[in-house]
Structure 1
Amino acid sequence: MADTWLIIGLGNPGPRYEQTRHNVGQMVVDELASRRSAAFRQHKANARVAEAWLRPGAAKLVLAKPNTFMNVSGGPAANLAKFYGLGADRVVVVHDELDIPFDTIKLKTGGGHGGHNGVRDVAKALGTPDFARVRVGIGRPPGRQDPADWVLDAFGATERKTLPILVGDAADAVEHLAEEGLVAAQQRFHAPRP
């Protein structure tokens, strides 16, 4: 279905993880659903799914949050792509990115997983790394804190002040990607903020 996009927000299930850095992808998908008053429902693909339209007469967005833990997100992603008849070129994965400073968004298609186990599992399950990614910067941990612990911590007080703007900008990036394409979205969201 050329007019449909599968938008997968990566994260971990349950209240313990809702406000953690690793769940920023799901926060972005929640924002996209909220903008369209779309409700999530359980799907047989082991994910919560909300269907909405980019805008009237435009592309359909299938917003998805896997019920699985981050490292095994690929199964639900591949099952949803199959259910909706979509190739990897119609899949967008929204995820946290350690190697990008907090409050920064980068978009790309394909390439490596950069050590991100959720992205690795989606690429394995889809059989290709050639899907779009909206990478939401969370930055590296301070000092010697283990990155694995850092991503599972809640955002700090200073970060929480900016987080709604970051999540909104990432949702804008997904919309722009779906409507205008990757290059146009990169040109808009990779530019330094005024």
Structure 2
Amino acid sequence: MFIIAGLGNPTRQYEKTRHNVGFDVIDLLAEKYNIKVNEKKHRALCGTGILEGQKVLLVKPQTFMNLSGESIGAILNYYKIPPETNFMVLYDDISLPPGRLRIRKKGSAGGHNGIKNIISHVGTQEFLRIKIGVGEKPQGRDLADYVLSRFSKEERELVEEAFGKACEAAAMMVQGETDRAMNQFN
């Protein structure tokens, strides 16, 4: 089984914010592959299905962004999934322009508190990532306020296009074609 986790914050007030792009991609994957992400377990909404011939568990942690590792660590432990080979996380990146993707096989948290918490609970930095660009914080603006803001109409069009590309990349990655996904989408 392959675990694909999208990061975000629960509750309606955070829907369609910059910080919730991971949830948005999970929703698109669920729709595309007819997977219901409505089972509550391990402090997450989960859904099991088949993605390009590979059994997957789609995960939306409900712990709020900065505690995502609590939920994800429990899921990986429960299913005995090695994070280095069978786990992927989708999340926002302020160092990328809206709509750009960056795929990585491993790396540091890069200042992202959700990733920092995952690394802490999972015990490794070696897991697949799809970072979705949400744009750089304007000078003088509070970072938390910025990532919890919504996109402009133009930015939203760019990120929704990126969601489709992130789904394509995830499909390649669960089939073991991470290098191909990196070459195509980075």
Equivalent residue for 1:18?
15
Q: Structure 1: which 5+ residue stretches go unaligned?
A: none
Aligned partner (choices 109, 125, 129) of residue 129 of structure 1: 125
Residue 98 of structure 2 corresponds to residue 102 of structure 1 = yes
Larger displacement relative to structure 2 (144-153 or 61-70)? 144-153
Please list the CA deviations of residues 119-172 of structure 1 after superposition, one character each: whole Å capped at 9, or x if unmatched.
000111001111111000111023321222110001112112233211111111
Larger displacement relative to structure 2 (112-121 or 146-155)? 146-155
Q: TM-score, length-normalised on structure 1? A: 0.91
Q: TM-score, length-normalised on structure 2? A: 0.95
Equivalent residue for 2:71?
76
Equivalent residue for 2:184?
188
Equivalent residue for 1:158?
154
Secondary structure of the residue aligned to 1:114 is coil
Q: Is the 8 A contact 1:140 1:147 kept in 2?
A: no
Matches within 5 A, 1:129-148: 129-148=125-144
- 1:16 & 1:23 partners in 2: Cα distance? 11
Equivalent residue for 1:60?
55
Superposed structure 1 runs of 4+ greater than 3 Å apart: none
Equivalent residue for 1:48?
45
Please list the CA deviations of residues 26-72 of structure 1 after superposition, one character each: whole Å capped at 9, or x if unmatched.
100110000012111233311000111113xx211110000111000
* TM superposition shift of 1:179: 1.4
One-letter amino acid matched to 1:46: R
Aligned partner (choices 78, 85, 98) of residue 80 of structure 2: 85
- 1:164 & 1:105 partners in 2: Cα distance? 12
Q: Is the 8 A contact 1:74 1:126 kept in 2?
A: yes
- 2:91 & 2:80 partners in 1: Cα distance? 23
One-letter amino acid matched to 2:22: G
Give RMSD over aligned pairs: 1.2
Aligned partner (choices 124, 140, 165) of residue 169 of structure 1: 165
Q: Is the 8 A contact 1:46 1:76 kept in 2?
A: yes
* Identical counterparts, % of pairs: 33
Q: Is the 8 A contact 2:39 2:47 kept in 1?
A: no
Please list the CA deviations of residues 63-119 of structure 1 after superposition, one character each: whole Å capped at 9, or x if unmatched.
000011100000110111122220112110100001111111011122210100000
Q: Structure 2: which 5+ residue stretches go unaligned?
A: none
- 1:13 & 1:40 partners in 2: Cα distance? 13
